[in-house]
Amino acid sequence: MNKQAMLDLIRQERKRFDNVFRQINEMHLAEAPIVDGWTVKDVVAHVTTWERRTITWLATAARGEPQRILDTEAIDRLNNQTLIENKNRPLELGAVGSRLGH
């Protein structure tokens, strides 16, 4: 897959994600957990955080700086940290934040 095809795929999948997100009533975003105790708001905050991390890592790689390879334990720690940091944030910061970079 070339760079343009990858970018097109990312945009396409992000559009699908946003379309699903828009169909969810705002009141349901922070309600009952849907995956492993995570609410919709938690999942959106998780996706947003990983998007931001990926953008940072890609920019670092483009500058030729060395990249840190994450093992499963490091990824689990980052995911847990993201959940904790966003758990008590207002809905606007956790959920709507997914649209800030787009």
Per-residue pLDDT of the chain (102 residues), as tens digits, is 888 998 899 889 988 888 887 777 666 776 777 778 888 888 888 888 998 898 898 899 999 998 888 999 999 999 999 999 988 887 654 444 444 444
**pLDDT (0 to 100) of residue 92:** 59
Here the tokens at position 41 are 């708001």
Cβ atoms of 78 and 85 closer than 8 Å: no
**pLDDT (0 to 100) of residue 58:** 87
**pLDDT (0 to 100) of residue 98:** 47
Here the tokens at position 43 are 């999942």
The domains located in the chain, with CATH, are: 3-99 (1.20.120.450)
Residue 45 CB neighbour total at 10 angstroms? 23
> 0.85 cut: is pTM over it?
no
**pLDDT (0 to 100) of residue 101:** 43
Taking the C-alpha atoms of 77, 71, 15 and 30 in order, what is their torsion angle to the nearest 10 degrees? Answer: -20
**pLDDT (0 to 100) of residue 73:** 96
